[in-house]
């Protein structure tokens, strides 16, 4: 495990973030300027909570973050973050109520990843499935002109997702943060300027 105790792992411990993934979000925001004070953010696959904390810092006390994950977390969140243990693809009535009360959202972020099997093509296919589901959630609750960030394990079938993203957003960029581990297959699609065509509300 020592190989994983890298610069970002140690930095996260020093700065009281639950995971090194916070620096991926910071890099994305520094590059693409996703967040502003007062924004509302939906964080999918939020546990253990680093992205929710990072988003909460950027949107400030007047902003709101709704975070959800299948797993729970013992991370202490500030008052502008609401964390719910939830299957966002099989949403409970309570979570639908929270989406309606807080939405629509300016930014939807997803750092979701499948449980890896060690079989590359299986992991890539499951990652793609999660991305497509996350996009469906964004269609449900993202404000026109809003932004969407989603993690993908790159594979041969990403064109399906890219086509769907380009149909919905003015700008779609691929971004690999420096804080991603070198051996990681993850990449992020950063999508700006939601056209609103898929919104169900």
Residues 31-88: tens digit of each pLDDT: 999 999 999 999 999 998 899 999 999 999 999 999 999 999 999 999 999 999 999 8
Q: What is the pLDDT of residue 11?
A: 65
Instruction: Spell out the residues 6+ positions from residue 160 whose beta carbon is closer than 8 angstroms to its own.
Output: 128, 132
CATH number, position 30: 3.40.50.150
Residue that the structure tokens 């409970």 belong to:
92
Q: What is the pLDDT of residue 4?
A: 45
Residue 199 maps to a domain? no
Could you say which residues of the chain have pLDDT below 70? 1-5, 7-20, 179-184, 197-201
Backbone angles phi, psi at 156, to 5 degrees: -70, -15
Residue 200 maps to a domain? no
Domain that holds residue 47: 2-194
Tally of domains in the chain: 1
Residue 158 maps to a domain? yes
Q: What is the pLDDT of residue 89?
A: 85
Q: What is the pLDDT of residue 182?
A: 63
Residue 167 maps to a domain? yes
Residue 13 maps to a domain? yes
Residue 201 maps to a domain? no
Residue 162 maps to a domain? yes
Q: What is the pLDDT of residue 159?
A: 92
Distance separating alpha carbons of residues 135 and 131, to the nearest angstrom: 6
Residue 139 maps to a domain? yes
Tell me the catalytic residues: 151
131-136 contacts: CB < 8 A, separation 24 or more? 131/161, 131/189, 132/160, 132/161, 132/164, 133/88, 133/89, 134/44, 134/108, 134/110, 135/161, 135/164, 135/165, 135/168
């Amino acid at each position: 495990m020592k190989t994983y105790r890298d610069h970002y792992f140690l930095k996260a411990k020093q700065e009281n973030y639950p995971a090194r993934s916070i620096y991926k979000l910071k890099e994305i925001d520094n590059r693409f300027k996703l967040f502003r004070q007062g924004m509302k953010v939906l964080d999918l696959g939020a546990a253990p909570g680093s992205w929710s904390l990072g988003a909460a810092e950027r949107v400030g006390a007047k902003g709101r973050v709704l975070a959800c994950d299948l797993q729970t977390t013992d991370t202490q969140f500030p008052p502008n973050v609401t964390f719910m243990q939830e299957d966002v693809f099989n949403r409970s009535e309570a979570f639908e109520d929270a989406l309606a009360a807080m939405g629509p959202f300016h930014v939807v972020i997803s750092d979701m990843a499948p449980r890896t099997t060690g079989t590359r093509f299986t992991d890539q296919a499951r990652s793609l499935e999660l991305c497509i589901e996350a996009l469906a959630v964004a269609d449900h609750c993202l404000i026109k002109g809003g932004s969407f960030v989603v993690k993908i394990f790159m594979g041969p079938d990403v064109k399906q997702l890219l086509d769907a993203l380009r149909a919905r957003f003015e700008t779609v960029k691929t971004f690999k943060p420096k804080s991603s581990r070198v051996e990681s297959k993850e990449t992020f699609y950063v999508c700006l300027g939601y056209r609103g065509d898929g919104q169900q509300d």
